[in-house]
Chain A
C-alpha cells in the first residue's frame, strides 16, 4: 500500500445523509474479479443516465469538482453492504479523504485498507467544511494526518481523532497481513490451547 501523504486538494460537498454502498458502486460492477478500474463507475446511477451520459447536476461531474480528492459527506456514509468495491471505486477515482459526522463500521475499516482516510467530526465542523467545499475549486483544503489537522481554504484549522494503529499503518503504507504473520507463534499457541479447551471448533 502507498504511504498516505499530506493531501492538499479540492473538496466536493455531498450533504445527502445515508449514502449507501449501492449508491457508491451499484451491484452490476461487483462482478469484477479485479480491484482496479472501478473509479469510472463510482456513484454510477447518480453520475450517469441509462445511456452513459453524464448527469450535469451531479457534483463530481461539475467542472470545479472533477479532480476532487476530498469528499465532505452527510451522516452515516457507506451504510449497507460490506463490498470493498465501494472504497476501491472511490480510491480509484482519486479520493484520499472523506469527512462526515459518522460512517458505517465496515466501510470505515475498508477505507483504511485502501489508503483512504475517513474522518469523523461533530456536526458544526462538518457543516463548516461543507460550506467551504461548496465554494468550488478555488477552495482547497489540506488534510495533515501526521498532525491530525484539517486546514480550510480560509486558513482555519480543525483537529481530528484517529486510531493510533490505523494512523501508523496509513502513514507507513503497512500491509496488515505481513504485520499479523509476525505474530504467527502467538496464533499457533492460541490454536493449541483452544484445541484443548474447545476441541469441537
Chain B
C-alpha cells in the first residue's frame, strides 16, 4: 500500500508532467485565468517569440482591475492608461482565441468570482492566474495560486509551470462559530494567529467542523486570504456542498462525464495518517468578529479590543507597529469601537459574492447610512448583481443611502477611480490594508461584510452582534 497522502499531494501527483532529480517539476495547468493588469507583457512576449497559446480552450480572460464600476461605464474608460490596458486584453483575447468576458458581458466580473460561477473551476484541478488571490479557487479542492507575468507567459506557451513542491500545513477550525461570526473572521483570525509569513513555503489545507459548515461562498472567502498568511495556496476538500455548487454550471461536466468526474472528486481528501509539516488548530467558539487596526493583514484584533502599543510587540514588529499607528492616525489604547470611519467598501474577490451582499443587507435593512459616511456596494460579477437585484438587495442598499455599483475590483486596490482621499478611513471587506492600497494615504480596516455594514450605519467600527441583538454580544 502506498503512503498516506494529503489532498495537496494527490492533486500535485496527478499533474506532474516530469520531475528532475532535484525535485523541480513540470506541473500541468488545467485552467489559466487572465486579467488585464498582469498579462499584456506576457502576450507581447509570445508575439515577439512567434509563439501561440498552447491551450486557448483552457484559458479564460476577463478585465476586472481597471474597469469603472459606475452605471454609465458603457461610454468607455476615461483614464487613458486604464483604457489601453483593457483594450490590450480585448485584442489579445481575440488574437490568441482564448475564452473572454468583455466589460459589456453580463458575466463579466472579478476573475476569481467569474471562474467558479461559470464552472471553469472544478475540484482536483490546477488553476493559476497572474493574481495572488487565485488562492480563492482552493475552496473547491483545486490547487490554485498566483503567478508572476513571466510565469503567465510560460503557462500561455506551454500549459505548464516549473514548480518545486511546497510543504503541507493543516489549519483546523474545530467546533461551531458563534452567531455573528463569519468566514472572514475565521480567515483573519488565522492570519492574526500565524502572521503574514506563517504559511510561507506551505500549502494550507483548511479543515474541521467550522470549515465543513461553511457555504461555498464562505469557503472561497477563507481560501482567498491564504496568500495573506503567506501560503502558496489554500485548499478545502470537496464534499457534497462543492458538487452541488458545481453541478449544472456552464462549463461543468455533464452526463456520463459528470459521473466520472464525481467518482474522481470523491477521492480528493487527505488520507488518515498523512503527514503535515505544520499544524494550527483554532477553536471556532473562541473566534470573535474581528477588524484590523494596522497596515498588515496580521494586525487583527477582536472588535472588543483596543489599539495596541508598539511595545506590545517584539523584534522588527515594534518599528512596523509604530509606523502603522502613525500611518493609521491611531493612538494606542483607543477602543476599536471608538474609531470613526468615512467610507465603507463592500465587494472584492474576498467578499463580493451573493452571500456577502445578503449578510450586509440584513444589517442595513431598515437603517440609514450614518451622517457623513460614503458607502459603496460593488458586486463581484454581473450575475451576482443581477441575483441581488432579483432578491431586492439593491433596494435595501439604495434606500439606506449606499451606492449600488457595477462589477469589478473597484476600491479593493483602487486602480479605477474608486479610491480613498488622503486621510480617509475605510471599513472594507477587501483583503489588504497595506499603506496606500485603497488610495494614497488612505486608511483601511479589514472586516466581514456584516461588520462593514454595521460600521456604515453607526459611523464607527461596531460589534455587529449589538445590532443583531444577540444575547451573547
Residues of A participating in the B interface, judged by any CB pair closer than 8 Å: 15-18, 20, 22-23, 26-28, 30-35, 45, 50, 74-76, 79-84, 87, 102-106, 109-110, 113-114, 163-165, 176-177, 179-181, 183-184, 186-187, 190-191, 194, 198-201
Which A residue sits closest to B146, measured CB to CB? A82
In-complex Cβ contact of B261 among A18, A50, A79, A198 (8 A): A198
Which A residue sits closest to B39, measured CB to CB? A33
B157 at the binding interface (Cβ < 8 Å) = yes
B200 touches A102 (CB 8 A): yes
B150 touches A113 (CB 8 A): yes
A-B contacts besides A26-B440, A105-B200, 5 pairs, CB < 8 Å = A17-B319, A76-B195, A164-B22, A177-B153, A200-B257
B151 at the binding interface (Cβ < 8 Å) = yes
In-complex Cβ contact of A176 among B20, B122, B162, B253 (8 A): B162
B150 touches A176 (CB 8 A): yes
Q: 14 pairs across A/B with beta carbons < 8 Å?
A: A22-B434, A28-B415, A31-B79, A31-B82, A31-B84, A83-B148, A84-B130, A106-B147, A109-B148, A165-B20, A165-B22, A176-B150, A187-B158, A200-B258
B81 touches A31 (CB 8 A): yes
B197 touches A102 (CB 8 A): yes
B316 touches A16 (CB 8 A): yes
Shortest beta-carbon contacts, A-B, top 6: A200-B253, A31-B81, A82-B146, A17-B316, A110-B148, A113-B150
Interface hit among B23-31, B208-216, B303-311, B395-403: B23-31
Minimum distance in angstroms from A24 CB to a CB of chain B: 11
In-complex Cβ contact of B435 among A45, A190, A191 (8 A): A45
A16 touches B28 (CB 8 A): no
A74 touches B316 (CB 8 A): yes
Chain A residues within 8 Å of B323, by CB: 16
User: Given A16-B320, A76-B197, are A187 and B159 also a contact pair (CB < 8 Å)?
Assistant: yes
A194–B126 Cα distance when bound, in Å, is 13
Minimum distance in angstroms from A89 CB to a CB of chain B: 13
Minimum distance in angstroms from B125 CB to a CB of chain A: 7
A32–B150 Cα distance when bound, in Å, is 15
In-complex Cβ contact of B196 among A27, A76, A177 (8 A): A76
Which one of B196, B413, B414 has the greatest number of beta carbons of chain A within 10 Å?
Answer: B196
A177 touches B316 (CB 8 A): no
User: Given A30-B415, A109-B148, are A177 and B130 also a contact pair (CB < 8 Å)?
Assistant: no
Residues of B participating in the A interface, judged by any CB pair closer than 8 Å: 17-18, 20, 22, 24, 26, 28, 30, 37-38, 40-41, 44, 49, 51, 54, 58, 65-66, 79, 81-82, 84-85, 88, 122, 124-125, 130-132, 134, 145-151, 153-154, 157-160, 162, 164, 166, 195-197, 200-201, 230, 232, 253, 257-258, 260-261, 264, 296, 298, 315-317, 319-320, 323, 413-415, 432, 434-437, 440
Which A residue sits closest to B81, measured CB to CB? A31
Which one of A16, A80, A179, A194 has the greatest number of beta carbons of chain B within 10 Å?
Answer: A80
B38 touches A82 (CB 8 A): yes
A26–B49 Cα distance when bound, in Å, is 30
